[in-house]
């Protein structure tokens, strides 16, 4: 009986750290922004992002810092939003970050990121200053959930391949970049 109890306890001890964790945040507040920045800052190899709009100064700075650390960044975004006056997409592109603008769908309305293929974030949270300061939005972080993170990885790869580098480079060229 002691042996069985020991095996059960060891099994629980080993499996508990493997349990998927979901972390949910809401705005207006800095909770989503701070969590996204935390995962950007802790990423060591890759960050893949599909985001509708991006102009949040703190997130943009964290992305630039990650790029400077050698993290491989890929950002897919909406072309109409990328043209917006407050957008930071052109700034990030000029910085050298690999960005593609949507050329396949009417809009690129996703808002998800994958950090080192280990954690995914998603939700209604646009990566904008008003999303933190004024809007009612949400973000969800999927931690230690390999199945969910893999699905986001697969979707990102599909979106990335269907929105070609050539079309994106032409879009930036037409913007005078």
* Positions marked active-site: 109, 111, 116
The CB density around residue 122, as the number of other CB atoms within 10 Å, is 18
Give the integer Cα–Cα distance in Å for 68 and 52: 24
The separation between CA 27 and the C-alpha centre of its own chain, rounded to angstroms, equals 17
Could you tell me which residues come within 8 angstroms of residue 40 by beta carbon, excluding any fewer than 6 positions away?
A: 47, 59, 62, 63, 65, 66, 115
Please state the φ and ψ torsions of residue 26, each to the nearest 5 degrees.
Answer: -135, 155
State the DSSP H helix or E strand holding residue 148, giving kind and residue range, or none if neither. helix 146-162
């Amino acid at each position: 009986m002691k042996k069985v109890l020991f095996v059960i306890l060891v099994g629980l001890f080993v499996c508990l750290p493997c349990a998927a964790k979901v972390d949910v945040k809401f705005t207006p507040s800095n909770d989503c922004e701070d969590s996204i920045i935390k995962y950007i800052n802790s990423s060591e190899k890759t960050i893949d992002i599909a985001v509708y709009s991006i102009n949040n100064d703190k997130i943009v700075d964290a992305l630039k810092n990650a790029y400077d650390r050698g993290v491989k960044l890929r950002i897919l975004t909406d072309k109409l939003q990328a043209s917006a006056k407050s957008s930071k997409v052109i700034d990030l592109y000029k910085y050298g970050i690999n960005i593609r603008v949507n050329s396949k769908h009417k809009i690129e309305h996703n808002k998800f990121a994958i950090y080192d293929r280990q954690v995914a974030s998603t939700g209604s949270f646009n990566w904008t200053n008003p999303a933190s300061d004024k809007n009612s939005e949400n973000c969800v972080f999927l931690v230690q959930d390999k199945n969910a993170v893999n699905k986001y990885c697969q979707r990102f790869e599909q979106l990335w391949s269907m929105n070609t580098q050539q079309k994106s480079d032409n879009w930036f060229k037409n913007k005078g970049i």
